[in-house]
């Protein structure tokens, strides 16, 4: 499916955040789409992955309530140094669209990742799936499921596009461009804090807490600019 759908890089393939970017990347000053530079390049994404890894703060607070992280397929688990503890997830992209400036700043775009994450303990199970985000908005949405009840799509996380940068390495003639981004901070929105608190019965986080750090890689083709 990823080979048949036109996809362009966002901060989460960072991204892009939100997802991304995830996505994915929270890569200062990303310009709004209306002010995009004529030098900005649009990329059509071939493939890639976005990783969301819990911060040390988040791991410590989740462990205090025995809350574990799991991956939702087709996302895969990212293991910690002990080789067993799940500290994050790696997600493939469903789609993404966006531009990148010559300085590696995202211009405008959106994207969604496949799979998601589950937070669970003996009290509750919170599933976060279909993670999507947009630039320069910076909000990251996802579909929520608490235990057996779907709650719909909600804005769960926020990122700062001004902190986002992409490494862009043009390929050899006939080869795609390599894109890479890392160190993208994700903080919960008030909606995200409220959903977590209601599900688990404890307030572990605030909107000021960095709970995930996102990173990602991808291969993409520059999209030619068509004459007006």
The whole-number mean pLDDT for each consecutive block of 10 residues of the chain, a chain of 228 residues, reads 38 31 31 51 88 97 98 97 95 87 82 96 97 90 96 94 80 88 93 97 97 92 71
- With contact defined as beta carbons under 8 Å apart, do 142 and 128 qualify? yes
pLDDT score for 171: 84
Task: Report pTM.
Answer: 0.79
- With contact defined as beta carbons under 8 Å apart, do 107 and 125 qualify? no
pLDDT score for 227: 60
pLDDT score for 42: 87
pLDDT score for 226: 61
- In whole angstroms, give the CA distance from residue 182 to residue 63: 25
């Amino acid at each position: 499916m990823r080979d048949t759908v036109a996809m362009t890089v966002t901060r989460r393939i960072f991204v892009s955040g939100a997802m991304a970017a995830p996505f994915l990347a929270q890569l200062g000053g990303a310009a709004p789409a209306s002010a995009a530079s004529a030098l900005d390049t649009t990329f059509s994404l071939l493939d890639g992955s976005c990783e969301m890894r819990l911060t040390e703060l988040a791991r410590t607070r989740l462990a205090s309530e025995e809350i574990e992280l799991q991956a939702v397929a087709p996302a895969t688990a990212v293991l910690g140094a002990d080789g067993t503890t799940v500290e994050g997830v790696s997600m493939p992209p469903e789609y993404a669209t966006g531009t990148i400036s010559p300085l590696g700043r995202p211009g405008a775009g959106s994207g969604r990742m496949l799979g998601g994450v589950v937070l669970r303990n003996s009290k509750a199970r919170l599933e976060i799936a279909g993670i999507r985000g947009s630039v320069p908005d910076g909000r990251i949405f996802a579909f929520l499921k608490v235990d057996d009840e779907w709650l719909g799509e909600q804005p769960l996380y926020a990122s700062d596009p001004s902190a986002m940068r992409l490494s862009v390495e043009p390929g050899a003639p006939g080869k795609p461009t390599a894109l890479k981004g890392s160190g993208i901070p994700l903080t919960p929105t008030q909606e995200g804090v409220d959903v977590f608190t209601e599900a688990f019965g404890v307030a572990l986080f605030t909107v000021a807490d960095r709970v995930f750090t996102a990173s990602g890689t991808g291969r993409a083709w520059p999209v030619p600019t068509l004459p007006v």
